[in-house]
Amino acid sequence: MSDLNALADEYYAYRQATDINRHLWDCSLEHLEEWEDVAPDAVAQRQDRLREFAERADAVAIDDHDPMQIALRDAIAFTARSEAHQLQWSSELHAINPAMGLLPLAMVFVSRFPLRTDEHGEQYLRKMSALGTLLDDLVAAVQAAALDGRIGLSRHLSASADAVEAYLGEPVSGGDALAAQAPPTELSDPEAWSGALVGIVETEVRPALRRYAEALRALAERGRDDDHPGLVHLEGGLEHYRDLVWAHTTLSLEPAEVHQLGLEVVEALEAEYRELAGPLLGTTDNAEIYARLRDDTEMHYRSGDDIVRDATAALERANEAAPEWFAHVPRSACVASAITSGPVAFYSPPAVDGSKPGEFFFNASDPSAWSTYELEAITYHESIPGHHLQFALHAESTDLHPVLRHLHVTSYLEGWGLYTERLADEMGLYTSDLSRVGMLAADSLRACRLVVDTGLHALRWTRQEAIDYMAAHCPLSIQQITSEVDRYIGLPGQALAYMIGRREIQAIRAEAETASEFDVREFHDRVLRHGMVPLTTLRRLVLG
């Protein structure tokens, strides 16, 4: 065990020192002044080191009867290899995606750090000064890759430039996304610190952003068109996509196999729509059902405050019901927040020291894009019994190594989130049949992802074919569908993790339920108690 723990400590320290972007999501103060190194040589060195960690994990001696040793060994080996795969082409193709790229995420998170001390303040100012260098390095990586034929979609490069230019069109102020960080709480002169931050943004960051936008605008003239959005159109792209399917699902699945599964799940869901939504809407025609759900303005929000109000009410109901379904519930609080940029909805875990709660965010830049019927399902996915319960229990555990608490296994964490949307129905949390239709809408989105992601990256689908398929098989608005498709183009394979992970957790539960004394609270405890592990390991640990 000592050899395994020593390896785990070394590996986690390495990931903490190199995965700087992950600290944005967590608002962690570790390596606060740094940004991730996106230069090609640095990325290649990280990949080599990660593969070395995986090989060492494979070779380490463990007690095969100790669940925690199995979990930790497998988590090191899987997350190291998975991260090495995900780093491939990341800087040039994924970091500049307008939906989920590096800069859009930084604009959401960089002002949310719980700064306290003078040192935190100095580190943060250095971080913001270094943002320009990061952007210059990112442009250099994209330009070098373009010479080798690897370049993003023209529309994504242009859209990224558009977003930067829109930001630059507004004056620097306290509400500026890059100048909104609250000063450290222990500072004697917080106004001077805030003034220094505004000065850095104005004189260092904004000129770098102008260079960044100009470079992306020029690259857009050489970018791929909408008929060639997938990795399959790049040399070695299909092989890379197969690696990403494994990296995000933890399972050895062929893209064609995933595609067919998606078609089957979509078909089954359409029968559920006819049964549940048909009587509510007065039609059993799926196209009419989707159109009514998509276009009825009475089913859409008008303000971000209303979204947060309803999400908070759903969270309160879930908190009250959780003890009947879970042997352990988190101590950490969870709150809903509206934002005006970044992904549609996402979660940020609590700080272990209590300096920040768990937070789930709703992009309310256009409240009318949010359907009232879908809000409850999304809330349960992101908070209780979904990601907040999952992440907070891991964060609060004294038994889990940090590798198992903090290094993501996408299909485990997103599979759990999607599993809990259906679990919320078992728990009686949905307040109406229409909200239960929202649960179906969330399911059909994730099922369509299996079809569309593989269609784009393995089967040579065009961007418009992907949009058209989703419009025909789920009730999201065209605006939401378009944003989703652009996300899949920019993050190949990641969207497969939700439905693949959910189905595997459901399959494990179905097998566990054959036991004579099945206890759902104990089952959930066994799924969550070992931290983030590959699905194959989860099956072994839960079923024994």
In this predicted model, what pLDDT tens digit does every residue of 150-186 receive, in sequence order?
A: 999 999 999 999 999 999 998 887 578 899 999 999 9
DSSP state of 367: G
Q: Shortest CA distance to 444 belongs to which of 419, 415, 476?
A: 476
Are residues 338 and 406 in contact, defined by beta-carbon separation less than 8 angstroms? no
Mean pLDDT of all residues in 279-295: 95
pLDDT at 482 over 70: yes
For Cα atoms 150, 80, 387, give the angle at the middle one, nearest 5 degrees: 95
Print the SS3 string covering 18-63.
HCHHHHHHHCCCCCCCCCCCCCHHHHHHHHHHHHHHHHHHHHCCCC
Coil, strand or helix at 67? helix
Please give, one letter per residue, the 3-state secondary structure of 182-208: CCCCCCCCHHHHHHHHHHHHHHHHHHH
Residue with the bigger pLDDT between 151 and 2: it is: 151
191 versus 174: the higher-pLDDT residue is 191
Rounded CA separation 258/118 (Å): 51
223 dihedral zone (left: phi>0; alpha: psi -120 to 50; beta)? beta
Determine the angle formed by the axes of helices 190-200 and 118-147, rounding to 10 degrees.
10
N- to C-terminal Cα separation, the chain: 20
When pLDDT is averaged across residues 323-343 and rounded to a whole number, the result is 87
Residue 540 in this model has a pLDDT that exceeds 70: yes
Ramachandran angles phi, psi of 439, nearest 5° = -60, -40
CA distance 100 to 156: 11
Q: Average pLDDT for residues 386-405, to the nearest whole number?
A: 94
Average the pLDDT over 456-467 and give the result: 98
The average confidence (pLDDT) of the chain is 94
Exposure of 275 by Cβ count < 10 A (0-12 exposed, 13-18 middle, 19+ buried)?
exposed
Give the span between the Cα atoms of 448 and 470, in whole angstroms.
6
Report pLDDT digits (tens) over 66-80.
999 999 999 999 999
Mean pLDDT of all residues in 439-452: 97
Q: What is the mean pLDDT of residues 374-383?
A: 94
Distance CA 310, CA 48 (A): 47
Three-class secondary structure of residue 359 per DSSP = strand
What percentage of the chain exceeds 70 in pLDDT?
Answer: 99
Amino acid identity of residue 16, one-letter, is Q
Token code pair at residue 525: 């405890």
- Angle, CA 18 vertex, CA 16 and CA 21 arms, to 5°: 85
For residues 108-129, give the mean pLDDT.
94
Q: Can you give the pLDDT at residue 252? A: 96
Q: For residue 364, what pLDDT is reported?
A: 81
Higher pLDDT: 352 or 156? It is 156
In this prediction, residue 174 carries a pLDDT of 59
Q: Bigger pLDDT: 274 or 27?
A: 274
**Predicted pLDDT at 259:** 98
Are the C-beta atoms of 248 and 483 separated by less than 8 Å?
A: no
Given a cut of 90, is residue 276 above it in pLDDT?
yes
Classify 500 as helix, strand or coil: helix
Task: Supply 498's token pair.
Answer: 């939700």
Q: What pLDDT score was predicted for residue 338?
A: 83
pLDDT confidence bin for 292, thresholds 50/70/90: very high
Does 308 score more than 90 pLDDT? Answer: no
- Say yes or no to pLDDT of 100 above 90: no
Question: Which of 279-302 are b and which e, b meaning 16 or more Cβ less than 10 Å from the residue's Cβ?
Answer: ebbeeeebeebbebbbeeeebbbe
